[in-house]
Chain A
Amino acid sequence: MGAGCYVATTTERIDAVPEASWLSRLFDNKAFLIFLCMLPAAGLLIVFLTYPLGLGVWLAFTDTRIGRAGEFTGFDNYYSLFQDRDFWTAVWWTCFYTVFATILKFGLGLWLALLLNNNLPMKSLLRAFILVPWIVPTVLSAIAFWWIYDPQFSIVSYVLVDKLGWLDTYINFLGDPWNARWSLIAANVWRGIPFVAICLLAGLQTISPSLYEAAMIDGAKPMQRFRHITVPMLMPILAVVLTFSVIFTFTDFQLVYAITRGGPVNSTHLMATLAFQRAIPGGQLGEGAAIAVAMIPFLIGATLFSYFALARRKWQQGGADD
C-alpha cells in the first residue's frame, strides 16, 4: 500500500529517474501481490484438498481396484449402491448416530459448561481435567470402550451381575444391533462432550455480567435469564461448534472400526467405515470412493442448516426473529 501511494503522489520524481525495471513494476502491482501472497495457501489447498477430493470423485465413477487402474463406468457404482441394503443401513445409521450423538453432546456439554461457568474451587484445574476424554487419542479410548463393552469381561456387567446382583446375565453390549448402536453413541458422546463444553464455556465467558445484573434488577428469574440472555448470546458460537461437531460425528471412523468393525452383521457400519471396508480391505477403490462421495451432500446439508438456522444476524445480536 505504502509503495503504491508513494508512486501515485510523486509522479514528477518518477519521471525524473530512469524507468523502473519490469520486475519492480510487477511487484508494485497490487493484483499480482495478492496472487503471490495467496499462492502458498492456495497451493496447499489444491495439493492436499482439491486434488484428493477431485480424485475421490473421479474414482467413484470408475471400477478401480487397489493396484489396478479402472475404467470409467459412469454411475455404475452408485447404481449398485442404491440396491445395496448395507449401504442404506449405513446411511440411515450414520444420520441417526450423528443426530442423537450431537443432541446428547450438546445437552450434556451445555450443562457442563454452565456448571463450569460458576465460581468453583480449583476452577482452572477442573476445566483442564474435563478435556481429558477429548485429548486421549480416539483409538485408545475406543479400545478402552471395547473392553468395557466386552461380552465376557465388561466391567459394567461385572459390577451389575457379580458385585451388585442387579442382573442375572452379562449385558450383550455389542452382540445385538440396538445395544451396539447405543453403546457406540455413548462412547462418542463421552468423547465429544469436552469439546462442546469448553467451546460453550468460552462463549459463556464473553457474555457481559452487566446483562445479567440488569435482568436481575428487572426481576428476571434464573430460567428467564437463561432463556433470554444466555441462549441468544451463545447462539453464534453454538452454530460454529454445532457445525464442527456434526462434521466430526458424521465422519467418525475410529470408534466404530475399533469397537465393532461395523458388526453385528453390518448394523453399525457408518458410511466412513463402510467406505474404508469396501475400498481398502475389500480392494474395491471405486465403490469405496462412491460411498465416501455420497457423504458430501449430507455434510453440505448439515453445514448449511446449522449456518443458516442458527447463525442469523439478529439472533447473534440478541434480537428477536423476524
Chain B
Amino acid sequence: MMRFTRRGTLKVGLGAVAGTSLLGSTSLRAEIPVNEATPPSYKVEDGASLRILRPAKFVQGDETVFLANSKKFEEQYGVPVKVDSESWEDLRPKTAVAASIGSGPDVILAWSDDPHQFPGATMDLTDLADYLGKKYGGWWPLAEKYGKDKDGRWIALPIGASGGRVVYRKSWVNEAGFDGIPGDLDGFLNLCRALKKSGHPPGFALGNAVGDGNAWTSWALWSHGGAVSDENDNVIINSKETIEALKYAKELYSTFIPGTLAWLDPSNNKAFLAGEISLTQNGISVYYAAKTSQDEGVRQLAEDIFHARMPIGPLGRPGERALVINTMVLNSTKFPNAAREYVRFMMEREQYDPWLQASIGYWGHPLKAYDASEIWTADPKHEPYKHVMADALWDGYRGSLGESSAAVLADYVVVQMFASVCAGQMTPEEAAKEAERRAKRYYRT
C-alpha cells in the first residue's frame, strides 16, 4: 500500500493544479490558528469500514486530495474507506434513496439542502460541530444555516461552498470607461451597456442551467429585496420587489450576447474563454481553466481575468447564492463512531487545509480560522471567493431549507421566471404571477 505523508499528500494535490509554483512552497507550512478544544471521543468500532458518497470533482485537486486524506484515515485508524463519486444531478436522487432506505453509504457529502429533506435520517453532529467551531474560531453564518435544523441541532456539517462572482476581462472593462465593477445595480447596468456598445457584451445563462442559471437569477431576485418565500414559508414571490428585479434583468438582458436563453452550465465558460463575452458570473473555474490551459493564448488571457463581488441592491447586503457541500452521517450507519471520527479527521487542518488549497478557491471554507489558508493569498484573484460562506444567502432564502425550497430550485421556477421576461414572452407581472402559482404547488402542505 502506498504511504501518504502530509507532504506527499500536498504534492499530489498541487501537482494536479498544473504548475506547482502556483501556491509556492510556503503553503506547505500554512499556519491555521487554532484554539484549545477537546475533540469528542469517538471510539472507532472494531472491524469498521466506511462508504463515502461525494459529488464528482469540479477541479481535479479536490478529488485527488480528498482521496489521499481518506487513505490517510484508513492507515491511521485501520478502517477501510471506499469513496464513490456521483455527478451533480445524480447525487441528489442517490442521497434521497440512501437516506430513506437506510443502506449504502455511511457518510454523504450531499448538496446544499438535502440533509434537511430527510430530518430523521441524519445523526446529530452537534458535539462535533461545537468542537470544530471552538477550535477553528467559529462557523460562518451560511454554515450554521445549512448545518442546523429548526431546533438548532447540527444535522450536517457543511465543508465548503462555491459562490458565483463577477468574472470579467479587465482590459475590456477599462476600455468601456470603468476602473472596476461598480458595487451598485445602476452602475453595473451602465457598465454592461458600455461593454455591449464597445462590442464585448456580457452574458449570463438563462437556459435550464442548474448552477449558473440559478445562481445569477437568485442574485437578481434577492438583491432587489425579493424572495420566493417568507420566514414562515409563505410564497411571496409575486411582489413589487420581484417585478423590479425582473425589469432590471430585462434591461440587463438587452446588453447580453445573443443566445443566452439557450445557455446551459458550460456555455458561459466556453464563451468567456473564447473571448466572446467580457463579463459573466461564475465560480473560479473559468480563471483556472485559462490559467492552466495548454494553449499559450488562453494562458495569457488569464492575466486579464479578474473577479469581483456581485453588486448590492436595495437589499442592502450581498445577495449571492452558494452551492454548499453538506456532510451528513446517516443514522443507519453500522459504525457511527468511525463515521463521525472520519468527518472530524477530514475537517482538521492537517487534512482540510491541503484540500482547500487543492480546490484552488472553488470551495470556500465554513470555519473562520481557514481565512488564514494560503489559498486566499497565493493569488489576489482568489480573494473575492474567500468569504462565500460568510455572507451568501441560502436556497429558499427567508424561508426554511427543505423539500419545497429544493423542488422550486430543481424545477427552475426562478430561472424561468426571469427567462420568460427576458425573452419577451411574459410581462414582469405575468411572470411573477406564474412563478407564484408554480412555487405554491411545491409549498403546499
Contact = CB atoms under 8 A, between A and B. Distances in A.
B411 interface: yes
A13 interface: no
Given A175-B423, A261-B207, 13 more contacts: A65-B403, A67-B96, A150-B267, A151-B263, A152-B257, A174-B261, A175-B260, A263-B419, A266-B416, A281-B89, A281-B410, A282-B411, A283-B117
Given A264-B423, A265-B420, A277 B411 contact: yes
A260 B425 contact: no
A192 interface: no
Given A281-B92, A281-B410, A283-B403, A263 B262 contact: yes
A320 to B, nearest CB: 50
A271 B407 CA distance: 19
Given A264-B206, A283-B407, A152 B93 contact: no
B96 A175 contact: no
A152 B271 contact: yes
Contacts, number: 109
A80 B444 CA distance: 12
B33 interface: no
A262 B274 contact: no
B259 A175 contact: yes
Given A263-B419, A264-B423, A151 B89 contact: no
Interface in B245-262: 257-262
Interface of A: 65-68, 80, 85, 149-153, 169-170, 172-177, 180, 260-266, 277-278, 280-284
A22 B264 CA distance: 68
A81 to B, nearest CB: 10
Interface residues of B, number: 40
B416 A283 contact: no
10 closest residue pairs by CB, A with B: A151-B259, A67-B96, A174-B262, A67-B100, A175-B261, A264-B261, A66-B96, A263-B207, A261-B208, A175-B262
Contacts of A150: 259, 267, 270
Residues of A contacting B: mostly: loop
Contacts of A85: 434
B262 A264 contact: yes
Nearest to A69: B100
A261 B267 CA distance: 13
Contacts of A265: 261, 416, 419-420, 423, 425
A280 B208 CA distance: 15
A170 B259 contact: yes
Interface in B94-124: 95-97, 99-101, 117-118
Contacts of B93: 66-67, 280-281, 283
B274 A152 contact: yes
A145 to B, nearest CB: 12
B298 interface: no
Contact of A151 (B99, B262, B411): B262
A320 B274 CA distance: 63
A67 B101 contact: yes
Contacts of A264: 206-207, 261-262, 419, 423
Contacts of A176: 261, 423
A68 B96 CA distance: 8
A62 to B, nearest CB: 15
Given A152-B274, A172-B259, A263-B419, A284 B264 contact: no
Given A80-B441, A264-B419, A174 B259 contact: yes
A172 B274 contact: no
Nearest to B258: A172
Given A170-B259, A263-B207, A66 B97 contact: yes
Contact of A262 (B96, B208, B434): B208
Contacts of B101: 67
B233 interface: no
> Which of A65, A172, A265, A277 has the most chain B CB atoms closer than 10 A to its own CB?
A265
B429 interface: no
> Which of A66, A67, A175 has the most chain B CB atoms closer than 10 A to its own CB?
A67
B213 to A, nearest CB: 9
Given A65-B403, A80-B441, A283-B92, A152 B259 contact: yes
A170 B207 CA distance: 18
A282 B407 contact: yes
B262 A173 contact: yes
A265 B435 CA distance: 12
Contacts of A180: 262
> Which of B259, B411, B420, B441 has the most chain A CB atoms closer than 10 A to its own CB?
B259
Nearest to B206: A264
B244 interface: no
Nearest to A257: B208
Contacts of A169: 258
> Which of B101, B118, B260, B261 has the most chain A CB atoms closer than 10 A to its own CB?
B261
B262 A283 contact: no
B241 interface: no
A203 B208 CA distance: 43
Contacts of B259: 150-152, 170, 172-175
Contacts of B210: 281
Interface in B145-170: none
A65 to B, nearest CB: 7
Contacts of B118: 67
